[in-house]
């Protein structure tokens, strides 16, 4: 059942209150309900974007060049940020759970095997086809295994999780979803959360008794709720110098090189394709775990992308048309997420060279654009991204690397307040030069593998000795909010234990990427869903035991 208000119908007794309705919250709710538990879910937004509610996420960003604006980094809406992305799905890798001193100094309180069994359920909930993340390339067999060239990313058939599970949410007698319900305070007594203070859209506040609470409001908002709680109970989470809010990670992303494939078969292998499991997939190039260990490399993935659309030297009418589409904000936001669109279009875009490209290449551009629009907006499932192959087999080389946890990369409560009186976040997001140096080493490792195997070549867009600076210049993120309430074996080292329960608060859990001790090379959504399913089993098993 989904209601637009806290007022009606009256809220019934419930086993768990979940704050947030994104992938984490919805998977947890559906799992709990499948095991007979009564769930109350509080969502600050409504079924559709709401500027008034979205503004509650506004924050002070210390360096706006490093962190995405909150209006595009989060979504206060039923379904959360699944409304913003194509939902790339990848699991963590075994190496992400290994201690790697000097590169990624963080330790998980669990093993890879502890989360592995939950990926099947996570894939199902996110409609990503199957828990299959490797695919050989027909006719290609490369004996040199220094790079894993068959690794997959998968995409959800229905990205918005509330749409994928609309029927169950609407009809469930065990799941009570309340929209326009913003948690502004948590009452803490004798080691437990005894009640929440919840505000309607108009600001009217109501107390809400609770038994168990799960924060599933996204990495930053969940951390914000904990920081507000800590401000009233300073002994929690190690106090101001403790781990809460620290070790803020996302991913280090960008393009500093181009890749040229040596054959048409390899060229075709890295395009989007609809596999036998019914969802889109795409291959990535990732240094093997053994190579990461021996060469001190980060866990980083590479894949080809179209040349920079804003650079008219590509002479492609289609890419110039796409550039114009991206440049028009209302249209561009329909094609790609705003956080990605902004990275493609400069403020000083040159117009006329793109016009010349379109005129010269008009017939082919029209046909290609028509095919893309059909696959993206008519076909089911929709193609999740934009990629155009070319005769030269030359592309930009995108990288998506783990970011090392640094204690001075952090969020804390600022001096300003939102319209409901809750302190806003102050986001001081930082990148370490050591990460950029490691990513450059990974580029060199890939370049040598490509040459050694005859599969292609890599060319830098700047002098090799300028690459580290180029990586640092491009470093910016904010949509993958990782590490600010991380898991640990001891409260001195983290905010939640191995079962996601907050240290010092017996009935408060956090289920979001904020609890991850490392970021890996993967997008976090699939693992968030897996941890949500694992938490549901823990809570239900605890009651049965």
Residue that wins the pLDDT comparison between 7 and 46: 46
Assess contact for 533 and 501: CB atoms under 8 A: no
Exposure letters 409-441 (e unless 16+ CB within 10 A, then b): bbbbbeeeebebebbbbbbbbbbbeebbbbbbb
Instruction: Write out pLDDT tens, residues 139-180.
Output: 999 999 999 999 999 999 999 999 999 999 999 999 999 999
**Confidence band (pLDDT; 50, 70, 90) for 446?**
very high
Q: How many CB atoms lie within 10 A of CB 135?
A: 16
CA distance 538 to 500: 10
Q: In the chain, what are the domain boundaries?
A: 307-386
Distance CA 414, CA 397 (A): 38
Name the pLDDT band for 545 (thresholds 50, 70, 90): very low
The mean pLDDT value for 441-452 works out to 98
- pLDDT tens column, 87-117: 899 999 999 999 898 889 889 999 999 999 9
The per-residue pLDDT for 336 is 62
Provide DSSP, 329-355: HHHHHHHS-HHHHHHH--TT---HHHH
Q: What's the 3-state SS for 79-101? A: CHHHHCCCCEECCCCHHHHCCEC
Q: For 536, list phi and psi in degrees, rounded to 5.
A: -60, -45
Q: Which residues is 40 bridged to in the sheet?
A: 17, 176
* pLDDT 10s digits, 62-91: 999 999 999 999 999 999 999 988 889 999
Residue 354 pLDDT exceeds 90: no
- C-alpha separations of 301 from 109, 224, 298, 443 in Å: 25, 31, 9, 10
d(CA 364, CA 421): 56
| pLDDT the model gives residue 332 | 64
Separation in Å, CA 488 to CA 26, 231, 390, 484, 492: 25, 22, 48, 12, 8
Token digits for 423? 């302190």
User: What confidence category does residue 283 fall into, taking pLDDT thresholds of 50, 70 and 90?
Assistant: very high
Distance of CA 399 to the CA centre of its chain: 15
Contact 220, 59 (CB under 8 A): yes
pLDDT at 334: 61
DSSP 3-state of 123: helix
Distance (Å, whole) CA 186 – CA 505: 11
Confidence tier at 544 by pLDDT (50, 70, 90): low
At 417, is the secondary structure helix, strand, or coil? Answer: strand
Residue 485 has pLDDT above 80, yes or no: yes
C-alpha of 160 from chain center: 14
Q: Is the pTM of this model over 0.85?
A: yes
Q: Cis before residue 88, ω within 30 degrees of 0?
A: no
CA distances from 520 to 460, 482, 483 (A): 24, 10, 12
Helices 317-327, 352-360: axis angle to 10 degrees equals 140
Q: Are 457 and 469 within 8 A, CB to CB?
A: no
Coil, strand, or helix at residue 480?
Answer: coil
Core vs surface per residue 166-205: b (16+ CB within 10 A) or e: eeebeebebbbbbbbbbbbbbbbeeeebebbebbbbeeee
Annotate 79-95 with b (16+ C-beta within 10 A) or e (fewer): bbbbbbbbbbbbbbbeb
Lowest-confidence segment of 52-66, 206-220, 296-310 by average pLDDT: 296-310
Residues whose CB falls within 8 Å of the CB of residue 506, separated by 6 or more in sequence, listed in order: 191, 192
Say if residue 309's pLDDT is above 50: yes
484 falls in which pLDDT band (50, 70, 90)? very high
108/112 Cα distance (integer angstroms): 9
Residues 6+ apart with CB under 8 A from 287: 146, 147, 148, 295, 297, 299, 300, 442, 445, 446
Question: Among the listed ranges 111-115, 336-340, 450-454, 519-523, which one has the minimum average pLDDT value?
Answer: 336-340
Among the residues of 83-182, which ranges form H helices? Answer: 112-115, 119-125, 161-164, 166-171
When pLDDT is cut at 50, 70 and 90, the band that residue 331 belongs to is low
Q: For residue range 223-239, list pLDDT tens digits in order.
A: 999 999 999 999 999 99
User: What's the chain's average pLDDT?
Assistant: 93
Range 464-467 contact pairs with CB under 8 angstroms and sequence separation of 24 or more: 467/256, 467/257, 467/440, 467/443
Considering only residues 449 and 309, tell me which one the structure prediction assigns the higher pLDDT. Answer: 449
Element (H, E) at 260: strand 251-261
Angle among Cα 143, 149, 151 to the nearest 5 degrees reads 130
Q: What would the pLDDT profile of 375-398 be if each residue is shown by its tens digit?
A: 877 888 888 888 888 878 999 999
């Amino acid at each position: 059942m989904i209601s637009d208000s806290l007022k009606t119908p009256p809220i019934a007794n419930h086993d768990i209150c979940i704050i947030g309705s994104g992938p984490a919250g919805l998977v947890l709710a559906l799992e709990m309900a499948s095991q007979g538990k009564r769930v109350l879910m509080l969502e600050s937004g409504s079924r559709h974007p709401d500027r008034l509610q979205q503004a509650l996420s506004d924050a002070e960003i210390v360096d706006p060049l490093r962190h995405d604006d909150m209006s595009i980094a989060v979504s206060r809406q039923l379904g959360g940020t699944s409304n913003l992305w194509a939902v790339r799905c990848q699991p963590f890798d075994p190496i992400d759970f290994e201690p790697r001193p000097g590169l990624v100094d963080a330790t998980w309180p669990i093993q890879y095997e502890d989360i592995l069994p939950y990926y099947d359920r996570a894939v199902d909930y996110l409609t990503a086809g199957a828990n299959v993340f490797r695919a050989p390339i027909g006719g290609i067999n490369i004996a040199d295994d220094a790079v894993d060239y068959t690794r997959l990313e998968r995409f959800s058939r229905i990205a918005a999780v509330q749409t994928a599970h609309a029927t169950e949410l609407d009809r469930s007698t065990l799941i009570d979803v309340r929209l326009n319900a913003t948690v502004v305070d948590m009452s803490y007594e004798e080691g437990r959360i005894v009640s929440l203070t919840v505000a309607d859209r108009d600001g009217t506040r109501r107390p809400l008794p609770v038994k168990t609470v799960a924060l599933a409001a996204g990495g930053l908002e969940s951390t914000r709720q904990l920081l507000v709680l800590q401000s009233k109970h300073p002994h929690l989470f190690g106090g101001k110098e403790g781990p809460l809010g620290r070790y803020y990670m996302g991913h280090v992303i960008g393009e500093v090189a181009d890749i040229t494939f040596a054959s048409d078969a390899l060229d075709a292998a890295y395009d989007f394709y609809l596999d036998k499991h019914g969802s889109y997939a795409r291959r990535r190039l990732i240094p093997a775990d053994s190579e990461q260990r021996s060469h001190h490399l980060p866990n980083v993935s590479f894949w080809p992308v179209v040349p920079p659309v804003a650079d008219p030297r590509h002479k492609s009418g289609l890419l110039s048309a796409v550039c114009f589409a991206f440049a028009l904000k209302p249209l561009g936001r329909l094609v790609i997420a705003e956080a990605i669109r902004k990275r493609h279009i400069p403020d000083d875009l040159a117009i006329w060279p793109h016009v010349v490209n379109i005129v010269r290449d008009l017939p082919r551009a029209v046909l290609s654009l028509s095919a893309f629009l059909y696959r993206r907006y008519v076909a089911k499932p929709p193609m999740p991204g934009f990629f155009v192959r070319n005769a030269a087999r030359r592309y930009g080389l995108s990288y998506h690397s783990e970011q090392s946890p640094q204690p001075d990369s952090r969020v804390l409560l600022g001096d300003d307040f939102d319209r409901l009186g809750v302190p806003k976040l102050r986001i001081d997001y930082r990148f370490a030069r050591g990460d950029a140096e490691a990513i450059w080493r990974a580029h060199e490792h890939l370049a040598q593998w490509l040459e050694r195997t005859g599969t292609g070549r890599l060319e830098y867009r700047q002098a090799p000795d300028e690459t580290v600076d180029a990586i640092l210049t491009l470093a910016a993120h904010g949509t993958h909010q990782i590490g600010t309430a991380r898991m640990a074996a001891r409260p001195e080292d983290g905010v939640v234990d191995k079962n996601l329960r907050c240290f010092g608060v017996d009935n408060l859990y956090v289920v979001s990427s904020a609890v991850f001790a490392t970021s890996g090379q993967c997008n976090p959504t699939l693992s968030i869903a897996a941890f949500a399913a694992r938490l549901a089993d823990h809570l239900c098993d605890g009651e049965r035991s």
